[in-house]
């Protein structure tokens, strides 16, 4: 069995026009000249310490990439044999490993799916056009100039690095969950937790003012009822009892001292309405027809009509 160990990784390549120089067409109209910016990053496997936050069972990265602590580089084994050797947690399998899966290849595949994108300028003189293929080119388009030669893009490298960083972090958490026997699958780490609780604090000044207002309100209402005992009978203050006390004709057939709880029973068979009183004299007419102000009163349905907006009613 032949084994070779080396350091491998993923290479991200972003070539784009940042708008610093406008594309031009030569005098013969056959060639476009311009300047492109190329940004290349090579990612290497390793053991990294992240700052995270845990909220309701969901873990998220708390810091940006510059605050990650790169602890140990990970070597990648390429083993040209069906039986792969187990070299511990410090190794990763490369895409060329036979007879097994590829850790690096999985991240490379994810990167291809997410970031493979192109912007193609099709030169056709006055009918030139730019074709954007893939989501990344559309996301990073910095302007949409009318001229195809003036279009520019922002550097997509930070977007790609942040996305792969998040994928690598979540893949490592899931790998530890699915393989609890791996070294350092379970870790004890110090943390700072927060908990929100509602605490009510009494402001005695507002409490005293509210109490005074409440007592004044009670006293104001009590003043209108003061002397109720001099009525000589039990009262309820219900609208029907008040209407009877003020001589509503509807209650003329009742005794003047009918208990308040008997009044609803006496009028239960009557359909009553609060409205403008109608005088009956040969024809149905209102007080206003007789040259007098109308009067609002509780009365049997048919002896009153709905009040008229804007009208003045008398006593």
Beta bridge partners of 280: 284
d(C-alpha 104, C-alpha 95), whole Å? 7
Q: What is the pLDDT of residue 175?
A: 82
Percent pLDDT > 70 in the chain is: 75
Lowest-pLDDT choice from 20-29, 37-46, 202-211: 20-29
Q: What is the pLDDT of residue 205?
A: 94
Predicted confidence (pLDDT) at residue 97 exceeds the cutoff of 50: no
Assigned token pair, 154: 């922002």
The pLDDT mean for the chain works out to 76
Where would I find the beta strands (DSSP E) of 30-74?
32-33, 37-44, 46-49, 52-55, 58-61, 69-73
pLDDT tens-digit profile of 185-228?
777 777 777 788 999 988 999 999 999 999 999 999 989 888 87
Q: What is the pLDDT of residue 87?
A: 41
pLDDT tens-digit profile of 227-280?
877 877 777 778 888 888 887 777 777 877 788 788 877 777 777 788 887 765
pLDDT tens-digit profile of 124-159?
666 777 888 988 988 888 876 656 567 788 999 999
Q: What is the pLDDT of residue 292?
A: 62
d(C-alpha 11, C-alpha 216), whole Å? 79
Q: What is the pLDDT of residue 20?
A: 73
pLDDT tier, 68 (very low <50, low <70, confident <90, very high otherwise): confident
Backbone φ and ψ for 7, nearest 5 degrees, come out as -100, 125
Predicted confidence (pLDDT) at residue 184 exceeds the cutoff of 50: yes
């Amino acid at each position: 069995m032949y084994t070779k160990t080396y350091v491998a990784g993923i290479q991200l390549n972003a070539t784009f026009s940042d708008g610093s120089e406008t594309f031009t067409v030569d005098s013969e109209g056959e060639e476009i000249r311009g300047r492109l910016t190329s940004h290349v990053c090579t990612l290497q496997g390793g053991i990294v310490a992240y700052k995270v936050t845990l909220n309701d069972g969901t873990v998220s990265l708390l810091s940006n990439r510059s605050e990650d602590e790169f602890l140990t580089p990970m070597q990648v084994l390429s083993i040209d044999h069906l039986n792969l050797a187990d070299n511990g947690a410090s190794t990763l399998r490369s895409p060329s490993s036979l007879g097994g899966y590829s850790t690096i290849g999985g991240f490379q595949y994810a990167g291809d799916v997410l970031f493979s994108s192109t912007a193609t300028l099709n030169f056709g003189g006055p009918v030139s056009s730019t074709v954007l293929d893939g989501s990344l080119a559309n996301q990073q388009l910095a302007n949409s100039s009318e001229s195809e030669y003036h279009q520019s893009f922002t550097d997509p490298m930070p977007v790609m690095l942040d996305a792969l960083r998040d994928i690598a972090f979540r893949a490592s958490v899931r790998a530890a969950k699915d393989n609890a026997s791996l070294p350092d699958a379970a870790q004890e780490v110090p943390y700072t937790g927060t908990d929100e609780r509602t605490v009510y604090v009494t402001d005695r000044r507002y409490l005293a003012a509210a109490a005074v207002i409440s007592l004044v309100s009670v006293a104001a209402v009590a003043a209108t009822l003061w002397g109720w005992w001099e009525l000589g009978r039990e009262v309820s203050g219900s609208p029907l009892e008040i209407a009877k006390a003020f001589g509503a004709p509807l209650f003329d057939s009742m005794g003047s001292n009918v208990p308040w709880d008997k009044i609803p029973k006496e009028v239960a068979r009557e359909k009553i309405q609060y409205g403008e009183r109608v005088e009956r004299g040969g024809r149905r007419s209102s007080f206003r027809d007789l040259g007098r102000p109308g009067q609002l009163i509780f009365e049997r349905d048919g002896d009153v009509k709905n009040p008229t907006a804007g009208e003045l009613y008398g006593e």
